[in-house]
């Protein structure tokens, strides 16, 4: 999980944010998608809690962040709902191998 040189998200964040993303990507490499999402959620929640001493401020911040996330995600899909090829094909999250073949007891 890393940003390719041609990724449209590259260069849109502060240099320190890209550095943190690169570090997170190194640690997350090979982890299941749901685990990566859980870690990302925890990072977002902890950053919001540390920044906002009051509940309403935290909820407003979360609303702003989720609105931005929805916009970015929406821009990566066509009006027909299909994923656009904005990311290089090698930029993927690896999923553990699942063998669905029937195994005979022997």
pLDDT at 45: 95
Q: What contacts 36, CB < 8 A, 6 or more positions away?
A: 1, 28, 93
pTM: 0.65
Res. 13: pLDDT tops 60: yes
pLDDT digits over 57-82, tens only? 999 999 999 999 898 888 888 888 88
pLDDT at 6: 55
pLDDT at 14: 81
Rounded Cα distance between 27 and 59, Å, is: 29
Share of the chain above pLDDT 70, in %: 71
């Amino acid at each position: 999980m890393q940003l390719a040189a041609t990724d449209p998200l590259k260069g849109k964040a502060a240099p320190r944010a890209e550095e943190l993303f690169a570090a997170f990507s190194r640690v997350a490499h090979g982890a299941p998608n749901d685990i990566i999402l859980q870690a990302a959620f925890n990072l977002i929640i902890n950053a919001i809690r540390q920044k906002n001493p009051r509940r309403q401020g935290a909820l407003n911040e979360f609303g702003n962040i989720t609105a931005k996330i929805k916009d970015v995600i929406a821009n990566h899909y066509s009006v027909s709902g299909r994923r656009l090829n904005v990311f290089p094909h090698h930029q993927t999250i690896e999923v553990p191998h699942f063998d669905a073949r029937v195994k005979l007891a022997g």
